[in-house]
Amino acid sequence: MIFSSQALGNLKLLNLSNSLELTRVPDLTRFPNLEVLRLSECRSLIEIPSSIGELKCLKEINLMRCSKLHSIPQGICNLKSLTLLRMSDCLNVTELPENIGDLEFLETLDILDSGIKALRKFEIFIPQRLFELTRVPDLSSVPKLELLFLDRCRSLIEIPSSIGELKCFKEIYVIGAKNCKVFHKAS
């Protein structure tokens, strides 16, 4: 089947998930209206093109379990419509682009079990493994945060009351934290 340039230009969702031999994402600029990019389980993927930053309509990127991926291009910070970035189990990605905090509509940043240890722009420290997390830091620097999912946080003992002051915040899931004081008054 042959697709016209116009048909490709109107593409909204590109699902390359489970493409086990995919090492590089093809040039995405042919898809200017792309809203969702799914690359989960692309275990050979090592690189995402910097041109991804030209996709002004892109809202969701799923990179879960892309175990050979080493970095996220700085161009991703140009995606002003991005609301979701999933990178759980991307063990070789050790840092996010410097300006990731400029993504003002980002609602979900999933870095569970990734190699990321700190989010500089958000000024939030995230341990390499969440089971080491003892206190949830002040989250006022992420005002658009809607959901906080803390799974396998066995060492978690408190969550500051300031979390309730986030205007967009809707849900919190705390799983496996036996000694946690939820909404402990911050000192």
**Judging by DSSP bridges, how do beta strands 124-125 and 147-151 pair with one another?**
unpaired
Lowest mean pLDDT among 81-85, 113-117, 130-134, 182-186: 182-186
- Count of beta carbons in the 10 Å neighbourhood of residue 175: 11
46 lies in the same domain as 109: yes
Residue 130 confidence (pLDDT) above 70 = no
Q: 44-82: buried (b, 16+ CB within 10 Å) or exposed (e) per residue?
A: ebeebeeebbebeebbbbbbbbbeebeebeebbbbbeeb
92 lies in the same domain as 4: yes
Q: Read off the DSSP letter of residue 147.
A: E
176 lies in the same domain as 92: no
Alpha carbons 172 and 181: distance in angstroms, whole number:
13
The string of pLDDT tens digits covering residues 57-113 is 999 999 999 999 999 999 999 999 999 999 989 989 988 887 887 787 887 888 877
Residue 121 confidence (pLDDT) above 90 = no
137 lies in the same domain as 60: no
117 lies in the same domain as 132: no
Residue 56 confidence (pLDDT) above 80 = yes
Closest among 97, 50, 45 to 67, alpha carbons compared:
45
Of 66, 99, 121, the one marking the end of a domain is 121
pLDDT (0 to 100) of residue 147:
74
This model's pTM is above 0.85: no
96 lies in the same domain as 143: no
Of 94, 121, 148, the one marking the end of a domain is 121
pLDDT (0 to 100) of residue 144:
72
29 lies in the same domain as 109: yes
- On the CB side of 105, CA atoms within 13 Å amount to 13
Instruction: Tell me what the mean pLDDT of segment 158-187 comes to.
Output: 73
The string of pLDDT tens digits covering residues 131-141 is 566 777 677 76
Residue 126 confidence (pLDDT) above 70 = no
Residue 2 confidence (pLDDT) above 50 = no
Of 121, 138, 164, the one marking the end of a domain is 121
Parent domain of 21:
1-121
Domain count across the chain: 2
104 lies in the same domain as 17: yes
